[in-house]
Structure 1
Amino acid sequence: MGTGTVLLIVVVVLLLIVVGLVVWAISAYNGLVALRNRVGNGWAQIDVQLKQRADLIPNLVETVKGYATHESEVLTQVTVARAGAVRAAGDPGATVAQRAAAENQLTHALMNLTATAEAYPQLQANRNFLDLQTQLKDLEQKIAYARQFYNDVVMKYNTMIETVPSNIIAGMFHFIQAQYFEVDEASRAVPQVRF
């Protein structure tokens, strides 16, 4: 082998290494972008369910108000908590933790409302109330599923950001970790609807 042949082999090997690194970098970057987009989509799914729940609450409050007028403290708690959740949802600067805190407050208020409603047999027999309770229960299950999906995607995304070698690309292109949608212990239980 001549010097020219050895030099050509070295250049080809170096070129293959460079091409391999570029392909890996593109793949890692695209993987991070795809996961970041899935995190965004997961959050949007939670947001849709939370909006539906917030839209259902005024009807629920009005129905309960007709039967339990002297339970104004519980009704006020639900109304104030809903307003806080809607305000947090409309705030583009609100973090996931702030949204979770507002939604946790609303969940607590709804659990109190459900417990209060159990003391009113006429309310328990009201068709509109029963329909609203069923819708609320279904929404709570959808919210729980959406939270699980979101948190699973956040875990994959954050893991990719933290692990070698993709952390190099994440650092170069300023990918930041996503926040989990965490709920407090009292909010983990789905409100029990008793008929």
Structure 2
Amino acid sequence: MKKIFLTFIISLLVLSFIIGLWSINVYNNLIKLNEKVNNQWAQVENVYQRRLDLIPNLVNTVKGSSLFENKTLNQVIEARSKASNIQLNSNELNQNEIDKFQKKQENLNHYMGKFLIILENYPNIKSTENFYELQHQLEGTENRINIEKNKFNEEVNNFNTYRSQFPRILLANSFKIFKEKGYLKSIKSNQSITVDFSNFLN
């Protein structure tokens, strides 16, 4: 009887040791994958911030033309302000928070698109060296945003796939830091860009 009990205790200890090693391994892998998501999120924030930093220079360049539509400039400035006011904690990258962030960015995209369409009618502004350089930097930044968003989504996919597999999900759900992450998705806007030149052109 003692032998059976001893065998049971040893088996229990061995099993506990194996589970402990497995848990440590899964935890460490979750930490690595989580850090990759956080690092990539920092890159996403950097490129969005670069765009936010370029917009005031573009607006100031255009403000020099007294004929340019003030309403559009004000819409761009307001959308930029809203986009810059939303800050996400890297530990709270759930889908709801990511969607809020993305909605503000898409709103800014909408007004920037309208702004650039209207500028097509102002060759004197577009031809200035300063505007050309800023527009070129903005285009490069938009490309960079798309690249960094795709990389972020890849890291989120790696994290979510790993953490959601059974039995890892049991351990992951025990820690707030390992909650499922959200993806940066394009939010379809119901706003269409319509430009009416009759209000500000002679």
TM-score, reference length from structure 1: 0.82
SS at match of 1:136: helix
Deviation per residue, 1:46-80 (Å, 9 max, x gap): 11111111111011011122236331121111101
**How many percent identity over aligned positions?**
30
Contact 1:68 1:120 in 2 (8 A): no
Matched residues in 2 for 1:104 and 1:125: separation?
Answer: 28
Q: Report the counterpart of residue 107 of structure 1 in structure 2.
A: 109
Deviation at 1:184, TM superposition (A): 2.1
TM-score, reference length from structure 2: 0.79
Q: Report the counterpart of residue 61 of structure 1 in structure 2.
A: 59
Q: Report the counterpart of residue 39 of structure 2 in structure 1.
A: 41
Contact 1:67 1:120 in 2 (8 A): no
Equivalent in 178, 181, 186 of residue 178 of structure 1: 181
Gaps of 5+ in 1: 187-195
Equivalent in 153, 156, 160 of residue 151 of structure 1: 153
CA RMSD of aligned residues (A): 2.6
Deviation at 1:128, TM superposition (A): 0.5
- Flag the 1:70–1:131 CA change in 2: closer, same or farther, 3 A: closer
**Which has more helix, going by share of residues?**
1
Q: Report the counterpart of residue 167 of structure 1 in structure 2.
A: 169
Gaps of 5+ in 2: 190-202
Contact 1:85 1:103 in 2 (8 A): yes
Matched residues in 2 for 1:156 and 1:68: separation?
Answer: 51
Q: Report the counterpart of residue 137 of structure 2 in structure 1.
A: 135
